[in-house]
Structure 1
């Protein structure tokens, strides 16, 4: 039997109903914000390259670098071989740091050498996906969890290390201070198996209406 996926509307219907029933505080947020416009990233490599470029940068700066990076390749994200064949001076000119150039190179080499088979990830349990991606330089647990949500559409992902998520929880549950990871896990115990939907609504509760979540 196929695993539920965030790309399916009925999963959202069930998930929202479950969260409203089991967590009234979160249910109020869901009712106030309304339906969530969600679309999966279907290019695994492109999503990971984008996530590396966006790491530790404000959205405007990251988008500017991403756009200059894509200009090297006629407005597109390159394929792994194409990236590996690019002279580093062109990559640096786009604004990529030497560290991120190495990260994307490591990702590209692993794919080209067959060490990392991205398409195989959709068949693996979530913890195995995290383990596989964590082997790549520059891709840690948080980035792997974003991949699970936004690329694979897994329904029960809880990024407990995300400070923005815990800040949103502090506000929603009217806590005196930001919850620890352990406290946050306790707060989320009734969200399963729809932690990803709860996560997306918590992020959205912190946004300005015109600013979509970008990982």
Structure 2
């Protein structure tokens, strides 16, 4: 707030709301795959059907249970063939310990992104959302996020289009809290807190 006139106005508007992590790593990434390129409402519907099939008695979702389902079973809950493949690949990476969940706290952001994008269906944007919403990394600037670019456009450039280079330059001033600034810019567009 001390360094940025826009943040000085935005932050007080949203009270005590904060970024919050929820779920475990596997579930968070599975939800992000389910929700790709469909509405929030449709994603929730598919997720509920998927969870009903794979969750254990405590409502936890384990990679091994996903691997126990074939493509037709995954399709039956509303997943496309491609998303079924992506979820199976995600489950395989976790079950075979090809992702180093226990080491993530000690790894830098780029190393985690590199590990995650090796999983089919997870691109840089999904990995950055995971860093922000699951690992609670404070200094992520997701330059591929349309909401971030729109928030910058609306709040800093009188709604003129903003390039990734301009966003990157502006974001330098928010370091080491670029995730936080991003979250407030999202909130400026939609007062409902963003969660993944």
What is the TM-score when the length of structure 2 is the normalising length? Answer: 0.92
Question: Which residue in 1 is equivalent to 2:118?
Answer: 135
For the pair 1:149 / 2:127, whether they are aligned, the reply is no
- The unaligned stretches of length 5 or more in structure 1 are 1-19
Give yes or no for the alignment of 1:94 onto 2:56: no
Over 3 Å counting, the alpha-carbon distance change for 1:73 and 1:195 in structure 2 is same
Equivalent position of 1:43 in the other structure: 24
Find the partner of 1:206 among 170, 189, 194.
Answer: 189
Distance 1:37 1:140 in 2: 25
Indicate the residue corresponding to 1:60 in structure 2. Answer: 41
Residue 4 (structure 2) pairs with residue 23 (structure 1): yes
**Runs of 4+ in structure 1 over 4 Å off:** none
RMSD over aligned CA atoms reads 1.6
Counting only pairs closer than 5 Å after superposition, residues 88-127 of structure 1 correspond to structure 2 as 88-127=71-110
- Structure 2 spans left out of the alignment, 5+ residues: none
Structure 1 residue 187 displacement after superposition: 1.5
Contact persistence 1:26–1:172 (CA under 8 A): no
**Cα displacement string for residues 92-149 of structure 1 (whole angstroms, at most 9, x for unaligned residues):** 1111111111111111112222222323222211110011101110111111111111
State the distance in 1 between where 2:146 and 2:126 align. 14
Task: Output one character per residue of 1:21-66: Cα deviation in whole Å (capped at 9) or x when no partner.
Answer: 1001121011222222332125111111011111111100100100
**Is the Cα–Cα contact under 8 Å of residues 54 and 66 in structure 2 kept in the other structure?**
no
For 2:193 and 2:75, the matched residues in 1 are separated by 28
> In 1, are the aligned partners of 2:19 and 2:136 still within 8 Å (CA)?
no
Counterparts of 1:89 and 1:141 in 2: how far apart (Å)? 29
Number of aligned residues: 194
Give the C-alpha shift of residue 186 in structure 1: 1.4
- Higher mean alpha-carbon deviation, 134-143 vs 34-43, is at 34-43
Equivalent-residue separation in structure 2 for 1:104 and 1:118 (angstroms): 17
What is the TM-score normalised by the length of structure 1?
Answer: 0.85
Once residues 46 and 39 of structure 2 are traced to their aligned partners in structure 1, the CA distance between those partners, rounded to angstroms, is 11
Contact 1:45 1:118 in 2 (8 A): no
